[in-house]
Amino acid sequence: MLENELDSIKKNFSKYLESLGLSAKTHKNYRSDLQHFTGWVILKVRSFGSYVETLTEVVPFLSNDLTVEYKNYLLENSVPDKTINRRLSTLRHLSRYLLSTGMIDSDFMNGIENATKVKKAKSTIDPIISEFRSFLEEEKVSPNTIKNYLSDIHQFLVWLETNNHAQHTN
* Average pLDDT for 137-141: 88
Residue 117 included in any domain: no
Q: Assess whether pLDDT exceeds 90 at residue 36.
A: yes
What is the pLDDT, as a whole number, of residue 4? Answer: 44
Rounded percentage of the chain residues whose pLDDT exceeds 90: 34
Under the banding of pLDDT at 50, 70 and 90, the label for residue 119 is: very low
Among 56, 30, 61, smallest CA distance to 44 is for 61
Residue 80 included in any domain: yes
Residue 83 included in any domain: yes
* Average pLDDT for 12-26: 86
24 versus 162: which is more confidently predicted? 24
Q: pTM for the complete prediction?
A: 0.66
How many domains does the chain fold into? 2
* Average pLDDT for 24-36: 90
Residue 68 included in any domain: yes
Residue 86 included in any domain: yes
DSSP state of 119: P
* Average pLDDT for 52-80: 90
Same domain, 92 and 153: no
Percent helix, strand, coil in the chain (nearest 5)? 70, 0, 30
Residue 114 included in any domain: no
* Average pLDDT for 16-38: 89
Q: Assess whether pLDDT exceeds 90 at residue 43.
A: yes
123 versus 126: which is more confidently predicted? 126
Residue 111 included in any domain: no
Among 94, 58, 93, 90, smallest CA distance to 74 is for 90
Full domain range(s) for residue 90:
3-101
Q: Is the Cβ–Cβ distance between 66 and 91 less than 8 Å?
A: no
